[in-house]
């Protein structure tokens, strides 16, 4: 079972060591990533790969529809560790066009627990109803909702007490909002960065 994955792992580890014999020894001793990625669980949005970063360079939190709900202990634990212990400099909330979670939030179908998880997206939808209903094409409307969701989650992260306290201590940490295109493999910066000036 899973032989293809095990063989893939052995080949990957061998490649890394061939390029840099101390690669894993160094990582074993310490992780010091400068970035926290908050992204969607979607298998087509592999965090490290998209931005060309190696193990050790990106601290990652992923969930359905890249949410940062201020009551979610999992996300908050990641955020606190990233900000207070790892002292990351940049936090990126990364949504993606064509997100199934975004579509599921507003299609009116019932799926169970995930409907509750997606509730914050329905709130974003409600808050921007005039803008969204003015977009006639469904795909474009949902893509805009993806962007609006990222913008809301950036606000959540930037206003969180862990981040606010870090800023008050003089720590430099910025929160960015990005959207990834499954069709081109490219990230778009939504220019909603929050944090200290320059």
Residues in the site for Co ion, rule: CB under 5 A?
40, 42, 99, 101
| Nearer to Co ion (CB atom), residue 3 or residue 49 | 49
- Cα distance from N-terminal residue to C-terminal residue, the chain: 51
| Nearer to Co ion (CB atom), residue 94 or residue 173 | 94
Residue matched to tokens 């003015």: 134
- Give the max Cα distance, the chain: 57
| Nearer to Co ion (CB atom), residue 67 or residue 88 | 67
CB of 169 vs Co ion, minimal distance in Å: 34
> 53: which 2 tokens?
């970063």
| Nearer to Co ion (CB atom), residue 118 or residue 173 | 118
CA-CA-CA-CA torsion sign (23, 26, 31, 35): negative
Catalytic-residue membership of 42 = yes
Q: In what order do the strands lie in the sheet with 35-40?
A: 58-63, 35-40, 90-96, 174-180, 187-189
CB of 105 vs Co ion, minimal distance in Å: 11
Give the Cα separation of 162 and 188 in Å (integer).
Answer: 26
CB of 148 vs Co ion, minimal distance in Å: 14
Catalytic-residue membership of 44 = yes
Question: Of 20, 26, 44, 127, which residue is the catalytic one?
Answer: 44
CB of 112 vs Co ion, minimal distance in Å: 18
Catalytic-residue membership of 96 = yes
Question: Of 15, 26, 96, 191, which residue is the catalytic one?
Answer: 96
So which residues are the catalytic ones?
Answer: 40, 42, 44, 96, 99
């Amino acid at each position: 079972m899973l032989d293809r994955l095990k063989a893939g792992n052995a080949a990957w580890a061998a490649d890394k060591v061939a390029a840099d014999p101390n690669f894993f020894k160094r990582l074993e001793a310490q992780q010091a990533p400068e970035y926290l990625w908050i992204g969607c669980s979607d298998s087509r949005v592999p965090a490290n790969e998209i931005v060309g970063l190696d193990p050790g360079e990106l601290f990652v939190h992923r969930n359905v529809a890249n949410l940062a709900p201020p009551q979610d202990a999992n996300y908050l634990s990641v955020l606190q560790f990233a900000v207070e212990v790892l002292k990351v400099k940049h936090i990126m909330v990364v949504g993606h066009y064509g997100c199934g979670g975004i579509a599921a939030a507003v299609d009116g179908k019932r799926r169970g627990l995930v409907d509750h998880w997606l509730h914050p997206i329905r709130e974003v939808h409600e808050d921007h109803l005039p803008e969204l209903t003015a977009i006639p094409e469904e795909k474009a409307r949902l893509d805009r909702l993806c962007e609006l969701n990222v913008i809301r989650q950036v606000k959540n992260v930037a206003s969180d007490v862990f981040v606010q306290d870090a800023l008050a201590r003089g720590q430099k940490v910025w929160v960015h909002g990005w959207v990834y295109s499954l069709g081109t493999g490219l990230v778009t910066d939504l220019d909603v960065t929050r944090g200290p000036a320059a």
